[in-house]
């Protein structure tokens, strides 16, 4: 198979259906007030916009973008912006809901939001992406702001795009507004440690789980699906803990070497070739096959819907830490639970990104910035407190970690919603 072709993948389940099913399951388990349940099942606001962009060749293309705010019960909404061909309104609604629970699980004063444009940034020039980003920012400008809704990077976006959004917003306001987005470059108000924060949070959660399960990470085998920002840094940090990374993948396919892969060398290879595929000395595997490689630690770090009832029984790991949003369906969850897989759910495992985004927002509002060591220490404290709260609920209710995390997160949002009441 040529390296430029992507692995074929089965149709993913509708993420909005998955997100609401997860909420419904935990609402029943915790006997959630039906009125609050109905309130939380719907997003507060969903905006879809046309994003016209003049391409380099002179053609005008019109992309479709979305921004969804699920809840503001606990504070302004917060969530990333995704540039990907498969972006849909239902996907963005699901991601916004997951962000609500995630912020509540780590107990930061945000609600959940998400945004995205259906596009393929790999086929666009930097100038085209900039024009698209700035036009999208202009279209959603009425509903974002440092006290309203604070975007951040997600799949297909990064500090560069956040700088363009911050500049576009600031030009419209007439003065610099550092707090309108997070994940910015450090030289315009970004936070040290933000780029690696999602992966660090995943690793802090894994280390806490390993301690509870008496399963030292040193010497254990690791498989990572998705070698983007979160996946590549997770590989690096786990290798630094003495684990052996034996398989990784990206959208074009995966590689496997039972003796172990050097994450830094794989990163260099991907930077040079555009993919992990073809790394010297490693065997080629598909993304589907990669999820079935026996290992101690499995980290899905790609897109949602990777583990379903079709392949869950073939997953052979002890700890599954969800660096991606929504990688496991409810049907797959049941199979993993029956097979003794300890799942660290996405709304806990990958909350490091939004936690350090919160730190960046706070630093920007105060114009007082922390050292990287301070950021990482505060992140570790937040992740460990959150893990301990979820694990305690799991032990108390004799349930899965996902249900426990949802009980913590949904419970906090429900309580805030109940306290505030319904206006008018």
Residues serving a catalytic function are 114
Distance CA 41, CA 315 (A): 31
**DSSP state, 341?**
-
CB 102, CB 347: distance < 8 Å: yes
Distance CA 104, CA 91 (A): 20
Taking each helix axis as running N to C, give the angle between helix 372-397 and helix 89-105, from 0 to 180 degrees, rounded to the nearest 10: 90
The DSSP element (H or E) to which 384 belongs, if any, is helix 372-397
Distance CA 230, CA 199 (A): 5
Question: How many Cα atoms within 13 Å fall on the side-chain side of residue 282?
Answer: 26
Interior CA angle at 299 toward 282 and 344, to 5°?
A: 160
Task: Tell me which residue has tokens 């933000």.
Answer: 194
What is the phi/psi pair of residue 321, to 5°?
-110, 115
Distance CA 357, CA 354 (A): 5
């Amino acid at each position: 198979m040529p390296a430029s072709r992507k692995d074929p993948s089965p149709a993913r389940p509708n993420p909005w259906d998955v997100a609401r099913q997860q909420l419904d399951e935990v609402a029943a388990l915790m006997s959630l007030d039906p009125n609050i349940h109905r309130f939380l099942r719907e997003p507060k606001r969903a905006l879809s916009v046309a994003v016209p962009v003049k391409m380099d060749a002179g053609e005008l293309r019109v992309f479709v973008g979305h921004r969804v705010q699920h809840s503001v019960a606990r504070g302004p909404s917060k969530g990333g912006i995704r540039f990907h061909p498969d972006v849909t309104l239902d996907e963005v609604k699901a991601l916004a809901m997951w962000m609500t629970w995630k912020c509540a699980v780590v107990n930061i004063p945000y609600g959940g939001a998400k945004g995205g444009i259906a596009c393929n940034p790999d086929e666009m020039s930097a100038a085209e992406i900039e024009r698209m980003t700035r036009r999208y920012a202009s279209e959603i400008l009425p509903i974002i702001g440092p006290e309203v809704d604070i975007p951040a990077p997600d799949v297909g976006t990064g500090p560069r795009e956040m700088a363009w959004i911050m500049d576009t917003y600031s030009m419209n306001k007439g003065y610099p507004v550092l707090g309108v987005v997070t994940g910015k470059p450090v030289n315009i108000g970004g936070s040290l440690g933000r780029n690696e924060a999602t992966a660090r949070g995943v690793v802090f959660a894994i280390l806490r789980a390993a301690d509870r399960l008496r399963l030292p990470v040193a010497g254990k085998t690791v498989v990572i699906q998705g070698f983007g920002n979160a996946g590549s840094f997770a590989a690096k940090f786990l290798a630094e803990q003495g684990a052996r990374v034996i398989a990784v993948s990206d959208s074009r396919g995966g590689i496997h070497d039972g003796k172990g892969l050097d994450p830094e060398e794989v990163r260099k290879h991907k930077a040079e070739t555009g993919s992990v595929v073809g790394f010297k000395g490693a065997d080629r595997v598909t993304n589907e096959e990669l999820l079935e490689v026996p290992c101690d630690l499995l980290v899905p770090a790609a897109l949602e819907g990777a583990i379903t009832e079709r392949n869950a029984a073939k997953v052979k790991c002890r700890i599954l830490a969800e660096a991606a949003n929504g990688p496991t369906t409810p049907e797959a969850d049941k199979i993993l639970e029956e097979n003794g897989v300890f799942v660290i759910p996405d709304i806990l495992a990958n909350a490091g990104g939004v936690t350090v985004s919160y730190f960046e927002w706070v630093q920007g509002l105060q114009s007082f910035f922390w050292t990287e060591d301070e950021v990482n220490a505060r992140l570790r404290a937040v992740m460990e407190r959150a893990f301990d709260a979820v694990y305690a609920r799991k032990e108390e209710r004799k349930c899965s970690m996902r249900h426990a995390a949802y009980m913590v997160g949904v419970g906090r949002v429900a309580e805030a919603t109940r306290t505030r009441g319904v206006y008018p």
